[in-house]
Amino acid sequence: MKLDVLALFPDIIAPALQTGILKRIQDAGGLTVNVYNLRDWTTDKHKSVDDYPYGGGAGMILKPEPIFAATKELNVESDAHIVFLTPQGIPLTQPLVEALSLENHLILICGRYKGVDERVRQKIVTSEISIGDYVLSGGEIAALVIIDAIARVLPGALGDFESAHEDSFSKELLDHPHYTRPADYEGMKVPEVLLSGHHDNIKKWRHVEALKRTAQRRPDLLQEYDLTDEELAIINKVKQ
Ligand code: ADE
């Protein structure tokens, strides 16, 4: 996958790309990320990327010309899915991350200031995405969130590819509790079943704990989930 980022503060993103899974997947050739400074496509001597809004009002607006010029240059094959990061976008979810991970070429445009000229939205952008109901000072951190989430579901990113598809949200349930050694830490004991070596019982326990945790913390996720009678009974017990 090729991923181009257009940002006003590329330095927010670039260092994170040199660490952990993000670095590993790029070194292995599974992902190419280029972070560009939008100012490189300005033509005036002040390298202006923003201007006052027509009609007045507070705040500056990202100008259309540098964004049109940059995407024209980066999307020569016209095959890119172009994302604009904004709190007005559709919420980022794990299914959306997985859909994006199947694209060959993504261009992420990071917003700043009051917003972007509407013609960028109309002519260039394929989708607008929000990483949550809060306002960041710019789209760079949101872009980094998306890049990280995509990178870890790409084939070869995790040592064990299966684990990306078994974690929280991929199955619409939160993850079950995890333990590692020691079996007894200052009197706090690991549940007996996990030490038993009985794989069927462990699997069952994990599923019940995942259901309980989801029912307690995120009951909204269960609406999407096809529950058996047995699972419903577990959830009703949690509710009581
Ligand atoms: N830019 C500013 N806030 C944002 C958010 N919540 N998601 C995506 N881009 C943003």
The predicted model scores a pTM of: 0.92
Closest C-alpha among 59, 63, 67 to residue 49: 63
What burial class does residue 139 get, using C-beta atoms within 10 Å of its C-beta: 0-12 exposed, 13-18 middle, 19+ buried? Answer: buried
Atom number, ligand 1, closest to the C-alpha of residue 133: 6
**Per-residue pLDDT at 201:** 98
CA of residue 134 to ligand 1 center, whole Å: 7
Q: pLDDT tens digit string along 6-55?
A: 999 999 999 999 999 999 999 999 999 999 999 999 999 999 999 999 99
Last residue of a domain, one of 151, 179, 196: 151
**Per-residue pLDDT at 224:** 83
Assess if residue 140 is contained within a domain. yes
**What residue has token string 């007045």?**
56
Classify residue 174 by its DSSP letter: P
Residues 37 and 145 in one domain: yes
- Put the strands of the sheet holding 115-116 in their side by side order: 50-51, 61-62, 115-116
Which element (helix H / strand E) includes 85?
Answer: strand 81-91
Binned at pLDDT 50, 70 and 90, residue 73 comes out as: very high
**Per-residue pLDDT at 170:** 53
Assess if residue 202 is contained within a domain. yes
Task: Say if residue 109's pLDDT is above 80.
Answer: yes
Last residue of a domain, one of 121, 151, 181: 151
Last residue of a domain, one of 122, 151, 180: 151
Question: What is the distance between the alpha carbons of residues 97 and 67, in angstroms, rounded to a whole number?
Answer: 24
The helix/strand count (H/E) of the chain reads as 10, 10
Task: Say if residue 160's pLDDT is above 70.
Answer: no
Give the CATH number, domain containing residue 212: 1.10.1270.20
CA of residue 139 to ligand 1 center, whole Å: 5
Residue 17 in contact with residue 4, Cβ under 8 Å? no
Number of domains in the chain: 2
Residues 137 and 31 in one domain: yes
Residues 141 and 56 in one domain: yes
Closest C-alpha among 95, 56, 70 to residue 221: 95
Q: Which domain holds residue 8?
A: 2-151
Task: Say if residue 169's pLDDT is above 70.
Answer: no
